[in-house]
Amino acid sequence: MSTVEIKVPDIGGHENVDIIEVFVKAGDVIEKEQSLITLETDKATMEVPSTHAGKVVSVAVKVGDKISEGGVVLTLETAGAAAAAPAPAPAPAAAAPSPQMASSASQPAAGAQPALVAGDVVECDVLVLGAGPGGYTGAFRAADLGKNVVLVERYASLGGVCLNVGCIPSKALLHVAKVLTDAEEMREHGIDFGAPKIDIDKLRGFKDGVVSRLTKGLSGLAKQRKVSVLTGEGQFTGPYTLNVTAADGSVKTVRFKNAIIAAGSTALKIPGYPYDDPRVITSTGALKLEGIPKKMLVVGGGIIGLEMACVYGALGTEISVVELGDGLIPGADRDVVKVLTDRIGKRYKVMVRTKVSQVEATAEGLRCTFEGDWAPKEPQTYDKVLVAVGRRPNGKLIGAENAGVSVDERGFIPVDNQCRTNVPHIFAIGDIVGNPMLAHKATHEAKCAAEVIAGEKSYLDYRAIPSIAYTDPEVAWMGLTETEAKAKGIAYEKAVFPWAASGRALGNGRDDGLTKILFDPESHQILGAAIVGVNAGELLGEAVLAYEMGADISDITGTVHAHPTLSETVAMAAEIAHGSITDLYIPKRKK
């Protein structure tokens, strides 16, 4: 037998935090991840779990004590324990995970109880199928409103595609890509860091560490809210039952009063590609970061494909992008996308109005034949081919018909503005209910569904869902686009502020951007906005809020924006529309 000291982990820089609860005493036998104490600041609370299983030898703290990171909580006797390690980072308490402490406002309602388990049957108020951003948000919100909840997830970790093999790991790698390209471009300004040395294992570890920290946070949030998590494939067997099949083949039946379907989507595959060859990958494979290929073809010029091109291009891969349509990122306006294509056109080979007609696996690589306007005359060989041509909803994979839930021919589940399906007690959210397939859309839908189940008068009434490509430069837009306005005959005017006139953009060495606002010619109310440039996604929020609140151009011009910032480009665009811009000279229109 060995002993270990269980210590307080990273708690976000807080020191001398109050201990308000102690759950164990000397002599107790505890499990790994069991909560030991609760900490509280003036803003938040969190529980500290055990890193080991064993018998408590002594408890070093009591209620009323103060403790900081690294402080000893207790001594534990274990069987062959390893050296002491800090406890896992505590769970966050917000709709989206964060490494910070849990918000006391997000604790479960007093009436929330765990699901009832009897053998292989689990009974609950609310079943949530799928633990992506929408699923876990719905589960946690329902628990906060006093419901006992079962959350079913096919993967071992909560978070779904977004957190495990999508949004989060890709952003970690895109950060690395940005650092690499920034360092490279500093040569023009007299600073040369030399050629980077890339340790692919450490880089992968960084990415995996980000994912692990957030998934552990979600597990902690589920425990705090007494949400029961079942791991396995979920299939409806009736309007009030769902079977969960675990990896070992065992089956549990969940009986529920209400259900939220949050089963997500799956990457589309182009017929005829040799998918049995590991060199043909989807974004999931690309994010595994198993190596840095010399040459890679990205099939699909949408957001996912271009983000992965950004990552691998920065790591040293020779990138080619092929897109069947007329241009990249088809959902955004062409003037905005042009800023991106002008930059990446110098770094990658981009082929629009072109398709891959054949992919042949050879010993030398993947031999690709092209057709179209920009097709190479001869087949090209690549070390990897990344297929990123969109996603398909999983509506037909969950036995929805057994519950009487309608699913259309594409796999989408129709819902009303309360996220209710044609079966009144079953709701659906996220990718599975329609485009855009975005996590932030799913989380809003999830809260609505959970609140309706709890008897609240909630419904969806947002005006805009922002879209962002986290490329370099980033492309962000919301509301009406010019393409849509022209197609629908909607009257609009626009104002475009070039970042070449932004002091902050010039100081950053990145003036390749613009901020555009569309507005109503009569009322001057905001109709839409688009921004392209470094950190464009962080700048879009003001425009989204303005649109949601029905603001007009003068509301933005009358708001003082800090100088010099990139955020003031929104104000500059509004001043152009208002006719009061002084940072540019724009001749007045003749009446």
Q: Using one digit for the tens of pLDDT, what is the confidence trace for 305-363?
A: 999 999 999 999 999 999 999 999 999 999 999 999 999 999 999 999 999 999 999 99
The pLDDT, as a whole number, for residue 119 is 63
> Phi, psi (5° rounding) for residue 152?
-105, 130
430 touches 449 (CB < 8 A): no
Ranges assigned E (strand) in 373-470: 380-382, 384-387, 391-393, 426-428, 467-469
Question: Which alpha helices (DSSP H) does 480-579 contain, by range?
Answer: 482-488, 503-507, 536-539, 541-548, 553-557, 568-578
Lowest mean pLDDT among 4-18, 54-68, 76-90: 76-90
What's the chain's average pLDDT? 91
Q: Tell me, rounded to whole angstroms, the distance of Cα 515 from its chain centroid.
A: 24
> Phi, psi (5° rounding) for residue 507?
-65, -30
pLDDT of 285 strictly over 60? yes
63 touches 89 (CB < 8 A): no
Which amino acid makes up residue 264? G
Confidence band, pLDDT 50/70/90 cuts, at residue 31: confident
pLDDT higher for 589 or 143?
143
CB atoms within 10 A of CB 249: 7
Ranges assigned E (strand) in 207-330: 228-231, 233-238, 241-245, 251-261, 265-267, 280-281, 295-299, 318-323
Lowest mean pLDDT among 77-81, 156-160, 415-419: 77-81
306 touches 328 (CB < 8 A): yes
* Nearest to 97, CA basis, from 229, 14, 213: 213
Report in angstroms the alpha-carbon separations of 129 from 124, 400, 424, 465, 485. 13, 11, 17, 24, 38
The pLDDT, as a whole number, for residue 101 is 32
> Of the listed 52, 440, 524, 563, which one is catalytic?
563
pLDDT of 227 strictly over 50? yes
Indicate the helix (H) or strand (E) that contains 134. Answer: helix 133-144
pLDDT tens by residue, 377-406: 999 999 999 999 999 999 999 999 999 999
Residue 563 a catalytic site member: yes
pLDDT tens by residue, 542-558: 999 999 999 999 999 99
417 touches 411 (CB < 8 A): no
Confidence band, pLDDT 50/70/90 cuts, at residue 21: confident
Which residues are CB-contacts of 292 (< 8 A; sequence separation ≥ 6)? 198, 200, 312, 315, 316, 317
